[in-house]
């Protein structure tokens, strides 16, 4: 698939956007079309932006610990809005033991601190390789 469109989104209230900005920039360098939402986006705003931008991927970054509440909620709302094919991935300060639950809720992959940017890039490219 050409022109993979990625929405990099910051749900929750934390202001740690160093990771989100690095991800946005490295995704751009990798050839994706990237939209970064900015801080403090509600699930409603993220779903709205994903629809508007016709995103193929929603990449969520959250470092406040609210991931177990907000990530599943966003996935549910994306599906409710008819975006069943959108690939949702996440990153941030997320304990290992929370990852199975997030995956079960529909987050395809969680990238934890120290992950090289090449990993999510490869993950996305791989996902869309035969699409």
**Is residue 17 a contact point for other proteins (CB under 8 A)?**
yes
Q: Binding residues for other proteins, how many (CB under 8 A)?
A: 31
| CB contact at 8 A, 9 and 43 | no
Side by side, the strands of the sheet bearing 109-111 are 33-36, 5-9, 57-62, 87-92, 109-111
Q: What angle do CA 30, 117, 123 make, to 5 degrees?
A: 75
Report 29-68 residues binding other proteins (CB under 8 A). 38-40, 42, 64-66, 68
User: What are the tokens at 42?
Assistant: 């509600």
Q: How far apart are CA 68 and CA 72, in angstroms?
A: 7
Is residue 101 a contact residue for other proteins (CB under 8 A)? no
96 touches other proteins (CB under 8 A): yes
Where does this chain touch other proteins (CB under 8 A) — which range of 1-9, 20-28, 53-61, 78-86? 20-28
The residue ranges that bind other proteins (CB under 8 A) are 12-18, 21-22, 25-26, 38-40, 42, 64-66, 68-70, 93, 95-97, 112-114, 116-118
């Amino acid at each position: 698939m050409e022109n993979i469109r990625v929405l990099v989104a910051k749900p929750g209230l934390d202001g740690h956007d160093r990771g989100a900005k690095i991800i946005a920039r490295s995704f751009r360098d990798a050839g994706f079309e990237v939209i970064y939402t900015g801080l403090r986006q509600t699930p409603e705003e993220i779903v709205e932006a994903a629809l508007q931008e016709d995103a193929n991927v929603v990449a969520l970054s959250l470092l406040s610990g609210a991931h177990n509440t907000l990530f599943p909620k966003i996935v549910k709302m994306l599906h409710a809005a008819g975006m069943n094919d959108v690939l949702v991935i996440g990153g941030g300060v997320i304990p290992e033991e929370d990852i199975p639950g997030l995956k079960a809720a529909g987050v395809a992959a969680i990238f934890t601190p120290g992950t090289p940017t090449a990993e999510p890039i490869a993950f996305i490219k791989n996902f869309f390789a035969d699409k």
